[in-house]
Amino acid sequence: MKVGISACSNGHSREWISQVEELVDVLTPMGVEATLAEHIEAKLDEFSGTDRERADDIMALYKDDSISAIYDISGGDLANGILKYLDFDVIAKSNKTFWGYSDLTTVINAIYTMTSKSSVLYQVKNMVYSEAELQKKRFKAYLDGNESELFNIDYKFLQGDKMEGIVVGGNIRCLLKLAGTKYWPNMNGKIILLESYGGGSGQIATLLNQLDDMGVFQQIAGVLLGTFTAYEKSNLEYSVFDLLKMHISDELPVACTREIGHGHDSKAIYIGKEMTF
């Protein structure tokens, strides 16, 4: 199996480049040959290349028939800059699955909106972080045909007891970069996944306000809350669910999981795929 490794968002600092090499060393014994995109290391400020150059990296991987999947290993702020340069007709006809997390929420949801194809919200570099052994075990099981260890998540309902629909969303801040663009997903009947790395009560509250002002909570079939890393460390009075309840009806199903987000132990979830909770 051959995969592409890309960095659509911020370039890797020199201190992080060793993680790329370590990831390749992890994948190789699993039978995964990694092809690295040209623009991964940061060269000017946070840019590994121009928006077009990073988009060209992705499209080269999509056009390479030997590549089975594309794993993006970046995060930060820059991923939405590539969207206008992507050839969604090529992506739609491809049998490749795109993987990424955090700022790649923009690309993942744009792919769904423009092609109806699902992608995976997951950071493959979890296999070189603090929970490396656990993540390598899960990922190897996935490669061997057993998706459950990587994709089956534990969750509990905070409101309601069932929801079903196509899952969209991801990182709440990054998702909202798509608001007002042609890449914004149709929210009717969807389950919206929301998680975050940064942000206290003020920032998360204002992002939920924006979703409310856009009418999202009147359109969706349910909410899945992932982890809110900085928020949960801040010992705040309001929970994220408390903030969410200011904007939703008592009838809208809401579930939460500790297994989707920025934690090094996080699992994977398909964005753009029908799911039942």
Q: Which of the residues are catalytic?
A: 102, 195, 262
Q: Rounded to whole angstroms, what are the CA distances from 59 to 91, 98, 263?
A: 8, 12, 29
Q: Which two tokens stand for residue 88?
A: 């969604």
Closest to 174 measured CA to CA, from 150, 193, 155, 149: 193
- Buried b / exposed e over 140-150, threshold 16 CB at 10 Å, is bebeeeeeebb
Q: How far apart are CA 190 and CA 275, in angstroms?
A: 10
Q: How many other C-beta atoms are found inside a 10 Å radius of the C-beta of residue 223? A: 27
Please give the distance of CA 177 from its chain centroid, rounded to a whole number: 14
